[in-house]
A and B are shown apart, each in its own frame.
Chain A
Amino acid sequence: MTRDKRQVRDDKFNVNIENMITLLYVDDEPMNVMLFELNFKKKYNVFTALSGSQGLEILKSNRSISVVVSDMRMPGLSGVDFIRIAKNDYPQIVFFILTGFEITEEISSALTNNLINKYLRKPFNFFEIEKAINDAINYPVK
């Protein structure tokens, strides 16, 4: 198996490309998922999920994931609830929440409780996301 960065990955395999951060993106909107993957696959090893519960499944079978970016409003498990559960099971993972709104009470308390590292605005600023992820990995907050 070559280390070609444009290699198409099969989500069933735990392909762990060396020196690349592995992250999980969770969003109920398929187009957002597609765009995130396309734009970030060169820089990160991207896993995706269309719901919070699917996200938890993926986290269980891929222990190399170190960053999770999740949309806030999703049917079923909301972004914050998903993160709360995931953080409980995998405390070493860095979590980011995506929101199209101003900071709500929920996000604000999640930030202060260190549940999430940072909140990211929609529409994405890809460079901002990249910087946030890199900062979080390189300068972990403990």
Chain B
Amino acid sequence: MNSFEQNREFELLKEKYARHEKILIQAYTSLKEKERKLKELYSELLETEEKLRQSNEELHSTNEQLSSQKEELKASLDRLNETQLQLVQSEKMASLGVLAAGVAHEINNPLNFINGGILGIETYFKENLEDHISEVLPLIEAVNVGVKRASDIVSSLCLYSSNDNAKFKSVDINLVIENCLVLLRSQLRGKIEVEKEFTDSKYTIIGSEGKLQHALLNIIKNACSAIQTEGKICIRTFTESNYLCIAISDTGCGIDPKIINKIFDPFFTTKDPGEGTGLGLSITFKIIKEHNGTIEYESVVGSGTNAIIKLPILKSEK
């Protein structure tokens, strides 16, 4: 090969090289561009991932919020249902109150006639027909018992005409409970063990001591009646938020779930006729309401009953 041809080949090689270089540079540029784009996409991906993670977190927290709101709503609904029940009961009491006051007043006079009349008859017998008096005495006794029983019911009913303003003042709940236990001494003795647990917390209850005693007496009396041969009554006081709670439990026969909603109804009783008026718990309910408190019962047949009374505590200035 001569030098001309060598040069020619060299030029050709140079051109080929230049072309290749150009291609390589293009390829390299292209790759670099792709790399850049890839990096961009990767960056976007990271961003999106971050956003997704944030959204997820938000959703999670909203979910938790919703869940807790649901809990609150459920609790509100329960409270509302409870309030409604108590309100319905109060309504019953209110309309009974109006009726009762009228009835009580009207019945007292006729009772008086019977009473006065029978006394006159008894006196007449004693003075004129002394030999026959033994035959009529049981009959006279029957009339007297009838008048007394009717008169007791009228007395109880009078508590429903709530226009009596017994003065409200500070009440010693422990003393009230002790008084009740003293009054029920004969029913408790030898048969029922009483356990008391009074709270050490300081609190002030404003109310009528007499009425609260009446209210608690009815509850404890029922507890005694529920215990047939022997058993136990626990009376516990404790404070809870702004309320004083009085828990009275017994190991008695319990209350049938079918009737437990009726225990506060006036004249409702599971005792034999003549043993009770059926007014005890309805009076208790009324008195507790007058004191802005609540009362609830829970029971297991054959096991026992718990009564829980809550009375608002006077908010003291600190």
- Listed in ascending order, the chain A residues whose CB lies under 8 Å from chain B are 29, 31-32, 35-36, 38-39, 73, 100-102, 104-105, 122-124, 126
Name the CB-closest residue of A to B106.
Answer: A100
Pick the 10 closest A-B CB pairs, nearest first. Answer: A35-B116, A100-B108, A123-B115, A123-B112, A123-B111, A122-B108, A102-B158, A31-B113, A101-B158, A38-B120
The smallest beta-carbon distance between B23 and chain A, in angstroms, is: 116
State whether B104 touches A36 (Cβ < 8 A): no
State whether A105 touches B165 (Cβ < 8 A): yes
Residues of B within 8 A of A32 (CB): 109, 112-113, 116
CA distance A121 to B88 in the complex (A): 34
The smallest beta-carbon distance between B305 and chain A, in angstroms, is: 29
Query: Which stretch of B72-80, B147-155, B169-177 is in the interface?
Result: B147-155
Name the CB-closest residue of B to A125.
Answer: B115
State whether B158 touches A122 (Cβ < 8 A): no
Residues of B within 8 A of A35 (CB): 112-113, 116-117, 120
State whether A29 touches B120 (Cβ < 8 A): no
Residues of A within 8 A of B147 (CB): 123
B119 at the interface (CB under 8 A from A): yes
Interface residues of B in 57-81 (CB under 8 A from A): none
- Contacts A29-B109, A31-B113, A123-B114 given; 6 further ones with Cβ under 8 A? A31-B112, A39-B116, A39-B123, A73-B105, A102-B158, A105-B165
The smallest beta-carbon distance between A105 and chain B, in angstroms, is: 6
Residues of B within 8 A of A36 (CB): 116
Q: A102-B155, A102-B159, A105-B164 are in contact. Are A122 and B109 (CB under 8 A)?
A: yes
Residues of B within 8 A of A122 (CB): 108-109, 111-112
User: What are 18 A-B interface contacts by the 8 Å CB criterion?
Assistant: A31-B112, A32-B112, A35-B112, A35-B120, A36-B116, A101-B104, A101-B161, A102-B155, A102-B159, A105-B165, A122-B109, A123-B108, A123-B147, A123-B151, A124-B112, A124-B115, A126-B116, A126-B119
CA distance A81 to B109 in the complex (A): 21
Name the CB-closest residue of A to B112.
Answer: A123
State the majority secondary structure of interface residues on B. helix
CA distance A39 to B164 in the complex (A): 33
CA distance A11 to B119 in the complex (A): 24
**Cβ contacts B98-129/A at 8 Å (1 or 0 each):** 00000011001101111111011001000000
Q: How many A-B residue pairs have CB under 8 A?
A: 56
The smallest beta-carbon distance between A64 and chain B, in angstroms, is: 25
CA distance A27 to B158 in the complex (A): 21
Residues of B within 8 A of A126 (CB): 116, 119
Name the CB-closest residue of B to A98.
Answer: B112
Residues of A within 8 A of B112 (CB): 29, 31-32, 35, 122-124
CA distance A35 to B119 in the complex (A): 9
State whether A100 touches B159 (Cβ < 8 A): no
Name the CB-closest residue of B to A28.
Answer: B109
Residues of B within 8 A of A31 (CB): 109, 112-113, 116
Residues of A within 8 A of B165 (CB): 105
CA distance A45 to B90 in the complex (A): 50
CA distance A35 to B108 in the complex (A): 14
Name the CB-closest residue of B to A104.
Answer: B164
Residues of A within 8 A of B154 (CB): 100
The smallest beta-carbon distance between A97 and chain B, in angstroms, is: 14
Residues of A within 8 A of B115 (CB): 123-124
Q: Which of A100, A102, A104, A124 contacts B116 (CB 8 A)?
A: A124
State whether B111 touches A39 (Cβ < 8 A): no
CA distance A123 to B109 in the complex (A): 7
**Cβ contacts B158-200/A at 8 Å (1 or 0 each):** 1101001100000000000000000000000000000000000
CA distance A140 to B41 in the complex (A): 112
CA distance A73 to B102 in the complex (A): 13
